[in-house]
Amino acid sequence: MEYTDDAERRALLLHSAYDTQTVRDMERPLLDRGVPLMRMAAQAVAHVAAGLLDDEDLALEDASIVLLAGAGDNGGDGLFGAAMLAQEGASVTAIAVGRSLHESGFAEFVRSGGKILVLDPAADIPGCASGFSAGEAGERLQTAISVASRAHLVIDAMTGIGVHGALRGIPAALAEALGRDGAIPDEPALPGRESSGDFPLIVAVDTPSGVGVDDGALPGPYIPATVTVTFGAMKPCAVLPPATFGCGRIDLVDFGFDIDEVEPAVEVVDGAFASDAIRLPHVDDGKYSRGVVGLVTGSQRYPGAAVLTARAAARTNTGMVRYLGPERAQNMVLSAMPEVVIGKGHVQSWVIGSGVPSAGAAGADADAQRETIAALLKHYALNGDAATDDIVYDMPPVVVDAGALDLLPARVPGQVVITPHAGEMASLLNRLEDEASSDAARNNSISRDIPSDEDVLPHEQPDEPLDEPSSLSIRTGSTTPDGAHAAHGVGSHAGRPQHASASGASRLTAQDVQSDPLACARRAHELTGATVLLKGAVTIVVDEDHTYVSGSAPAWLATAGSGDVLAGMVGALLAQQGEAITTAETAAAGAYLHGQAAAIASESEQQGWQEPDLIGRTHRQRFMTLGHPIVASDVIQAIPEAIADIIA
């Protein structure tokens, strides 16, 4: 297996994910030239499986291996790989989860001495039983679960990229018994996504069965992997939360796809990406030319957020920080950082809302910070009038965090960055959807009062047939040919989170957002126009055209005040930017830098997302240092070192 020495291509391959159709399109020229992609994939699966067993000091001839084989090419990859392991002495049982198996892969597996267990009574697999009773089918399923549970290693080749939505039928039953039902794996965050070593070890073929391949959702039962061996290029589920947490370690087989001119579905931020957001000082710089950040953060109740945002912004390569807030917070800020300037003045960016109470919180109505924020955000409201909207687009970028989120206008320009965590995103979407429903109901009421054409014009035959679907019809769900639900996660239809109006019983929760964060981030952008930074172990950044993720942070970063630090850092980076880098790119770079500072502070090698290993290349040395607890102030102290590492 040969690989290019082109470092730029390799970096692109390791930090880009491509949707299912794009991957198929990139495969086609290779298949047309007769490149044996299935054999290459199978060899990689067998290699990884043997390596995992060797790491556990288990010889192949002593190993019990189970293959969960679907009917398509993914099952073929698994069958050829399992055959190679059987030829090396492993005891391998293939469990056929569908009605057929890949013909040549099945033949190779049988020749290698592998055993077959068929679960579907309607299966038509040569030499295997079929037409058995429902009772026997149930017994076979229980046998399959028992055999797989007691195996040393399970190769998951049920679905690959061929199924969208939740698993159904036999695959769903197996995934529920052997894996998890839509929940993120509940285990310690270890460096390198190292396995706990418990049997059975799971090798996923291309993608874990049951995850949302293109959207990263967990729509139902799925099988978390110890290692995912992915082919050609990463799919979005390898980088998007929460599915990425079910992928385990990711090993990538480079098929040599031509990726130079192909737009990825998701880009993963790395140091080179983030370095573009760091403005190096110029020889003729003054404090104003290096960027001035204005803060409306902290409050009488939460003054500490003012200190954290001010210190973070000041440490993130800016020339000046201005602060507006209550006297108690002012005094604390000046005590911590006498360099901060108190009061109004010219700024290149704003950070608002961190440490400010949300509507409904105790004392929110009387909080002067909310009044200041509301007045500022009025200048960012788009109303569809070209003259006034031009002024809005000329406003400096603003980071809208925490208590400012419920003051966000209905429509804003893209230089507005909202930074919710999952709970805040749920509240924001519930409010936005309620407002959208109210507006729609109001418009419908008005339209009923306007005479229709039928009331004022002679009756004529319509130009189009009456039974044609309306362009305004809404798809509320469908079923794919393979029987998987097209609607998934919290989505009532593809890409849109489920929501009931104020009169309904269902409301989005933080857990709903965590189950399908990409759909929620995209919906928030769709409703507001803002650039969305959805915080998490892997942070998602969405604008009109791009999706970025950053998983540089260790789990130790989940600590009070870390979001305030992030807001200050992103605001500082935005204050430095010209037009060479977009708002979303800057926000994504801020998330990456935030994570890097936390990694330095905690001395941890663990990250929310781990760069894949390229199969066939020498693996990078990883020190696997777990690290230690930190507080938000520790992260601030490490920001200069993180910047130095990135620009180096």
Annotated binding site for (6S)-NADPHX: 305, 355, 421, 564
Per-position DSSP letters for 50-115, written without gaps between them: HHHHHHTT--GGG-EEEEEE-SSHHHHHHHHHHHHHHHTT-EEEEEE-SS---HHHHHHHHHTT-E
Number of alpha carbons in the 13 Å side-chain half-sphere of residue 387: 0
Enumerate the known binding-site residues for AMP.
535-539, 563
List, in order, residues 6 or more apart from 7 with CB less than 8 Å away.
Answer: none
224 beta partners: none
Enumerate the known binding-site residues.
305, 355, 421, 535-539, 563-564
Distances (CA, A) of 439 to 56, 330, 442, 471, 501: 61, 41, 5, 20, 12
Distance CA 178, CA 197 (A): 16
Instruction: Evaluate whether 541 touches 533 at the Cβ level (below 8 Å).
Output: yes
Start-end of H helices in 247-296:
271-275
Q: Using the 8-state DSSP alphabet, how is residue 223 labeled? A: -
Task: Write down the residue that tokens 């009605």 correspond to.
Answer: 99
Q: % helix / strand / coil in the chain, to the nearest 5?
A: 40, 15, 45
Per-position DSSP letters for 154-188, written without gaps between them: EEEES-TTS--SS--HHHHHHHHHHSEESPPP-S-
Q: Which two tokens stand for residue 232?
A: 């050609």
Start-end of H helices in 503-648:
510-515, 517-528, 562-576, 583-602, 632-647
Alpha-carbon 599 to chain mean position = 20
Q: Which two tokens stand for residue 445?
A: 């009421």
SS3 call for 426: helix
Distance CA 579, CA 581 (A): 6
Distances (CA, A) of 410 to 321, 367, 526: 29, 22, 11
Start-end of H helices in 269-385:
271-275, 304-315, 327-336, 368-377
